[in-house]
């Protein structure tokens, strides 16, 4: 079984989501002997923004007709896409920055969301092609959003990730959440303890 461990926090050694993804990946490997872990640090190695050169991926141009920028971009897309497709389990560190995910994580999603590879349009509508994977999201945030309707309406982090992974065919998205991290010491301690419980549940759940 292959596990892809992804971090996107820009806070390096101060990051909370990095602590959570590390624990999730370690516990998963413990409980599933033979797990091969690949690691992707999107803050250390950020994919380029999905731009005009990146769009050439969709045009199926002959290799010889690509510009240098398009060729480099295609190689980046191919590498990230294949890495995602070969994973059975994807652990994603996803802090909330400005109500949504870090730009580095969005740049990765833009690379892996490719028609013909991870989704396609059919007569019956869009169909996700990355089926059978488990995605575990380590969600961290300064405020608390899960406990009120208003909070849920304002957060575009977990809800966005569930939507986009669902669109790609991943129906099993598990959330490990530490929220209220900026609301004082007691709230932070409670958040970390809730995330530890979520981790156990996410790792133990049978697909
Ligand atoms: P991980 N939380 C929210 O609830 N909302 C946000 O929109 N945006 C944007 C940024 C950052 C944090 C350090 C908090 C937000 N947060 O990276 C973030 O989700 O894995 C959590 O910190 O740790 C989470 O743990 C929102 C991230 O996961 C954000 C750009 C950075 C944001 C509505 O919703 C600790 C530094 C910070 C911190 C921080 C910071 C916040 C918090 C902790 S440090 S806390 N809160 N370093 O020192 N901005 O590295 O440990 O979790 O609330 O306690 N900075 N921010 C916040 C640094 O910046 C909270 C609420 C709201 C808005 C913002 C600076 C310079 C340097 C290095 C580090 S909201 S340097 O008004 O409720 C909006 O070395 O000089 C280059």
132-169 per-position pLDDT tens digit: 999 999 999 999 999 999 999 999 999 999 999 999 99
- pLDDT interval class at 60 (50, 70, 90): confident
**Segment (H or E) for 40:** strand 36-41
Atom of ligand 1 nearest to the CA of 155: 34
What is the distance, to the nearest Å, from the Cα of residue 80 to the centroid of all Cα atoms in its chain? 12
Q: Over pLDDT 70: what percentage of the chain?
A: 100
Helices H, strands E: what count in the chain? 7, 7
The Cβ-side half-sphere exposure at 64, using a 13 Å CA radius, reads 0
The tally of CA atoms less than 13 A away on the side-chain side of residue 93 is 25
Residues 29, 83: Cα–Cα separation, whole Å: 18
Residue 196 has pLDDT above 90, yes or no: yes
- Rounded Cα–Cα distance for residues 151 and 137 (Å): 18
Q: What is the pLDDT of residue 59?
A: 85
| pLDDT at residue 68 greater than cutoff 90 | yes
Rounded to an integer, the average pLDDT of 121-127 is 93
At residue 28 the predicted structure's pLDDT band, cuts being 50, 70 and 90, is very high
| Segment 66-74 mean pLDDT | 95
* 25-46 mean pLDDT: 97
Give the Cα separation of 10 and 63 in Å (integer): 35
Q: Using CB atoms within 10 Å of the CB of residue 184, give its burial: 0 to 12 exposed, 13 to 18 middle, 19+ buried.
A: exposed
Mean pLDDT of 14-31: 98
What pTM, to 2 d.p., does this model score?
A: 0.96
Kindly list the protein residues whose Cβ atom lies closer than 6 A to any atom of ligand 1.
9, 11, 14-18, 95-99, 140-143, 181-182
DSSP one-letter code for 100: B
What percent of the chain shows pLDDT beyond 90?
A: 94
Ligand 1 atom nearest to CA at 18 = 20
Q: For residue 98, give the ligand 1 atom closest to its CA.
A: 7
Mean pLDDT of 106-129: 96
Residue nearest to atom 60 of ligand 1 (CA): 142
Per-residue pLDDT for 100 more than 80? yes
How many Å lie between the centroid of ligand 1 and the Cα of residue 16? 10
Burial class (CB in 10 A: 0-12, 13-18, 19+), 133: buried
Q: Which two tokens stand for residue 32?
A: 């599933």
Q: What spacing in Å lies between the alpha carbon of 123 and ligand 1's midpoint? A: 44
Determine the Cα–Cα distance for residues 190 and 105; give it in Å rounded to an integer.
27
Helix, strand and coil in the chain, % to nearest 5: 45, 25, 30
Neighbours of 77 (CB within 10 A): 22
- Measuring from atom 12 of ligand 1, which residue has the nearest CA? 97
Please give the mean pLDDT across all residues of the chain: 96
Instruction: Determine the pLDDT at residue 58.
Output: 86
Predicted confidence at residue 14, as pLDDT, reads: 97
């Amino acid at each position: 079984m292959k596990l892809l461990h992804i971090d996107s926090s820009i806070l390096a050694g101060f990051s909370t989501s990095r602590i959570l993804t590390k624990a999730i990946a370690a516990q998963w490997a413990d409980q599933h002997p033979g797990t091969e872990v690949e690691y992707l640090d999107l803050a250390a190695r950020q994919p380029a923004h999905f731009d005009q050169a990146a769009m050439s991926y969709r045009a199926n141009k002959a290799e010889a007709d690509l510009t240098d920028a398009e060729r480099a971009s295609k190689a980046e897309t191919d590498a990230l896409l294949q890495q995602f497709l070969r994973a059975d389990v994807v652990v994603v560190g996803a802090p909330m920055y400005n109500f949504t995910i870090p730009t580095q994580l969005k740049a990765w999603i833009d690379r892996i969301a490719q028609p013909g590879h991870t989704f396609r349009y059919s007569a019956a509508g869009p169909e996700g092609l990355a089926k059978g994977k488990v995605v575990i999201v380590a969600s961290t945030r300064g405020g608390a959003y899960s406990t009120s309707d208003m909070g849920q309406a304002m957060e575009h982090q977990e809800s966005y990730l569930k939507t986009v992974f669902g669109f790609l065919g991943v129906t099993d998205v598990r959330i490990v959440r530490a929220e209220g991290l900026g609301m004082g010491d007691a709230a932070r301690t409670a958040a970390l303890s809730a995330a530890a419980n979520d981790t156990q549940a996410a790792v133990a759940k049978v697909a």
